[in-house]
A and B are shown apart, each in its own frame.
Chain A
Amino acid sequence: MRRVLKRREIRADDWVHWEEDPAAGEGAKPLIVPLKELRSHPEVWSARQGALGVCIALTDRVEDLAPELARCALIAVQFPAPTEGRGYTQGRLLRGRYGFAGELRAVGAAVKRDLIFALARCGFDAFEVAPGEDLEACARALHRYSVAYQPGAPGALALPQRFTA
C-alpha cells in the first residue's frame, strides 16, 4: 500500500486514484477522481456513498470549483515537473481565499523533499511523493526553515515571519 506524508506524519494512504482502480468507484473506499470525470458524469458521482476527492488539472480555474469545494474531502493538485509552478498558486488560493479545510494534496513526479517546505507554506498538508522518494527526508523537509518572510496559508506551520496579512 502507498504511504504518504500527511499532517506531518508518514502513514498508509487510505485514498485511491480512480485511474488506478476504476472499479473502486462502486465501493465505499475514499476515491480521488479527476475533475473532468466528475463533471462528465455528475449523476454517477453525486450519488456515491464513499468519500470523494478531486484531482484538478493545472489549467483548471480554482474560481470554478465551488461544487467540488462543498462536496469533496480532498483536493489533489499536480506537480508533474520541478519547474511547473502553477500548482502553488492553486493550492494557496484554495486554502486561503476559498477556505478549503479538507486535505490539500500535492501529487506528481516532482513532489520531492526539495519542494515540500514551500508547498506546506502554500497550504498543502498531504504529499503523495514521487516513486522512490525518501518519505523520512520529506518529513524532515517540513522543518527545513524555522523562519519565513511571507505569511503562510491558513493552517501552515506557524513560524516567526516578517510580513503578515
Chain B
Amino acid sequence: MYRYDDIDQTLVAERVDEFREQTRRFLAGELSEEEFRPLRLRNGLYIQRHAPMLRIAIPYGLLSSVQLRKLGDIAHRYDRDYGHFTTRQNLQLNWPALASVPDILAELATVQMHAIQTSGNCVRNVTADHLAGVAPDELDDPRPYCEIIRQWASLHPEFTYLPRKFKIAVTGSPADRAASEVHDVGLHMRRDAAGQIGFEVLVGGGLGRAPAIGQVIRDFLPVSDLLAYLEAILRVYNRYGRRDNIHKARIKVLVKSLGAAKFREEVEAEWQAARADAPHLPQAEVARVRAFFAPPPYESLTDLDATQDREPAFRAWYRYNTRPHRVPGYRAVFVSLKAHGRPPGDMTSAQMASLAILADEVSFGLIRVAHDQNLLLADVRQIDLYTTWRALSGEGLATANIGMLTDMIACPGLDFCSLANAGTISVARDIQKRFDDLDYLYDLGEIEIKMSGCMNACGHHHVGHIGILGVEKHGEEWYQITLGGSVNGFTALGEVIGPSVRQHAVPETLERIIDVYRERREEGERLIDTYRRIGMAPFKERVYASRAQAA
C-alpha cells in the first residue's frame, strides 16, 4: 500500500497542529459554535445527539494491520471500544470527547492516517472497488489513481468551500463494485485503441434528495490529464453550483439544470483554457505511486478444493463469504460485520486487534473496507481458508451471509445521527431476528437491503433491491419501502411500493415481498430479476392486502 513521504507526513502533522489550535480557540470561547462548525466539519467532526462523532478517512478502503490495530486502540482509549464502518469506506467513532479529538488525530498521524475532508463541503474520501488489484474481471488497479486524487484534493486551496460535498469513486472493473454511478464524479478505467489506460468520466450521480445516475461527459480521458480535468469540473461547479438552497447545491442539480451536453461544454472549455496552469500528472509520478500497489509476493500455487471433507458450516462460509482471486491458489475473504444482533458495520476494538493479527498471518498484513460495510482479507491462500474461518468464527466475524438478505447496509440512524428522522439499528435487529435461519436465507439468494434513517441516504436506500427509508410522521418513525434499486454494473433507482409502514410492520412487509418472490420466481432468478420481470403490482398488492387476505 501507499507509504507517506515527507510531504504527506508533514502535511498531516501540520493539519493536526492547525486543528488543535482551532479546537483550543473554540473551547476557550474565542470561536463561536457557528464559526467553529465549518472548521471542524472540514476535519470530520460532527456534533451528534449524544457526543461528537469523528469520521476517520480510510482512503479507498485500504488499511494495514498496523492501522487497524491503531483504530482499535483509539476506539478503546478514546471511545466506547467500538467503531462503525460506513458506506464510504470510512470509520466513525460515536463517542469521543471534543477536547481529545486533536490527540486522536495525532495518534492517527503516527500511522499515516487522518480525518481530512471526511465531512464538510469539499472533496471527500475517494472510494474504490474493494476487490481492486485482485478481481479477475479488472482492467487495471484503480488505487494508485485514488491515491493521486486523494493527494490532489487534500487541502486544495481553490476548492476549500464548494457549494456542497463532493464524492469521487474510481473503478477498474465493469462490475463497478464502487457504486461509481451514484457519485458526483465516477471514473471508469478504460483502455484506448493504443492500449493506454484512461478514464471514462461520469458526472452528476448521487443519492440523497432527488437521486440521479451519473452521466458520461467524456469517453476517454488520458491519465496525464486526470487532475486537470477534475480541476475543470470542480471549477465549473464552484463557480456555478447553487449556494442558495442546500438541497439544490449538489453538482447533480447543476448538471441537470444545464443539461449534460452544456455542462460538458463548460468543462471542456475550462479544461482547454486552463492548459498552461492546471496540475499535470506526469508518468513518473504515476509510476512512483503505482509501485506501492505492486502485487504482494504471492506463492506459486494451484487452485484446490478447500471445502473437501469439511463441515457444512465451513462450506457455506466458503460459498458465500469468499470470492475468486486472479492468482491461482488464493481467495478473497469477506469479514462479515453483519452478525445477527449487531448493528451493521460495527466492530469492537477486540475484533479489530484480532483481525490485525490474522491479516498478518494470512493476508500480507492488509485489510480492506467494502462499501457494503464488511471488511475483506483480499489475499488468503486457499490452504489457509479453514484456519482463517476458525479464527474469524471465534471473533463473530464469520456470519456466512455476504450478499444475503441480512447482509444489509444501514446508516447509524436516529440512535446517533442528529440528521436522522428514524432509527435504523432496531429495524435491522428486527429484520435479523425475523430472517434468522441461514438455510432460508440461502434459498432466497442474493438480496440487497439498504436502509437510511433520512433523505440524505447514507445507507444508499435508493439502490437497494429493497430500500428502506426512515421518515418522520407526526413525531413517529415510519418507513418507506422501495423495490428494484441496484448498483454494481447496472445502476437503477428503486421505486416506492406505497404508503410507509410503522417500525413493527417492517419485517412483516419484507416477508410479504419475499413471499411473492418465492411464489413467482423462475429458475435462477434473484428477487431483483423477478421484480424486473413481473413489475411492482404483485408486490404492492400483497404488501397492502389486509392481514387475513395475505394469510
Contacts and interface: CB of A to CB of B under 8 A. Distances in A.
A119 B157 contact: yes
Contacts of A122: 157-158
A125 to B, nearest CB: 14
Given A164-B279, A164-B280, A165-B277, A89 B235 contact: yes
Interface stretch (B147-155, B304-312, B422-430, B527-535): B147-155
A148 interface: yes
Interface in B1-59: 6-7, 10-11, 14, 18, 22, 35, 38-39
A16 B462 CA distance: 54
B7 A150 contact: no
Contacts of A85: 121, 159-163, 238
B130 to A, nearest CB: 25
Interface string B134-166: 000000000000000001101111111111000
| B39, B160, B274, B280, most chain A CB atoms within 10 A | B160
A89 B161 contact: no
B14 A146 contact: yes
A12 interface: no
B276 A148 contact: no
A160 B160 CA distance: 20
B334 to A, nearest CB: 34
A88 B279 contact: no
B290 to A, nearest CB: 15
Given A85-B160, A85-B161, A122-B157, A163 B273 contact: no
Contact of A163 (B14, B276, B281): B281
A144 B22 CA distance: 12
Nearest to B231: A150
Given A165-B278, A165-B279, A89 B239 contact: yes
Contact of B158 (A92, A144, A162): A92
Contacts of A84: 161, 243
B197 interface: no
A89 to B, nearest CB: 5
A149 B7 contact: yes
Contact of A82 (B38, B159, B277, B285): B38
B227 interface: yes
Given A163-B280, A165-B276, A165-B280, A148 B155 contact: yes
A86 interface: yes
Interface in A38-83: 82-83
Interface string A147-161: 111111000000011
Interface in A95-119: 96-97, 114-115, 117-119
Which interface class (under 10, 10 to 19, 20 to 34, 35 or more) fits B?
35 or more
Contacts of B278: 165
Interface in B234-267: 235, 238-239, 243
A85 B163 CA distance: 7
Contact of A121 (B152, B157, B235, B273): B157
A149 B151 contact: yes
B156 A150 contact: yes
Contact of A150 (B157, B281, B285): B157
Contacts of B38: 82-83
A114 B273 contact: no
A114 B161 contact: no
A121 B6 CA distance: 20
Contacts of A162: 7, 151-152, 285
A125 B144 CA distance: 35
Contacts of B22: 114
A118 B157 contact: yes
A148 B158 CA distance: 13
Contacts of B151: 149, 162-163
Contact of B159 (A83, A88, A119, A148): A88
A145 B155 contact: yes
Instruction: List the 8 closest pairs (A to B, CB-CB), nearest first.
Output: A85-B161, A121-B157, A163-B279, A118-B157, A147-B7, A96-B277, A149-B151, A88-B158
Given A88-B161, A145-B10, A165-B279, 19 more contacts: A83-B121, A83-B161, A86-B238, A88-B157, A89-B235, A97-B277, A114-B22, A117-B157, A122-B158, A144-B18, A146-B14, A147-B14, A148-B157, A149-B7, A149-B156, A163-B151, A163-B152, A163-B279, A164-B280
Interface of A: 82-86, 88-89, 92, 96-97, 114-115, 117-119, 121-122, 144-152, 160-165
28 contacts: A82-B39, A83-B38, A83-B121, A85-B163, A88-B159, A88-B238, A89-B235, A92-B158, A96-B277, A97-B277, A114-B22, A114-B39, A145-B10, A146-B10, A147-B6, A147-B10, A149-B7, A149-B155, A150-B157, A150-B158, A150-B279, A160-B6, A162-B151, A162-B152, A163-B280, A164-B279, A165-B276, A165-B277
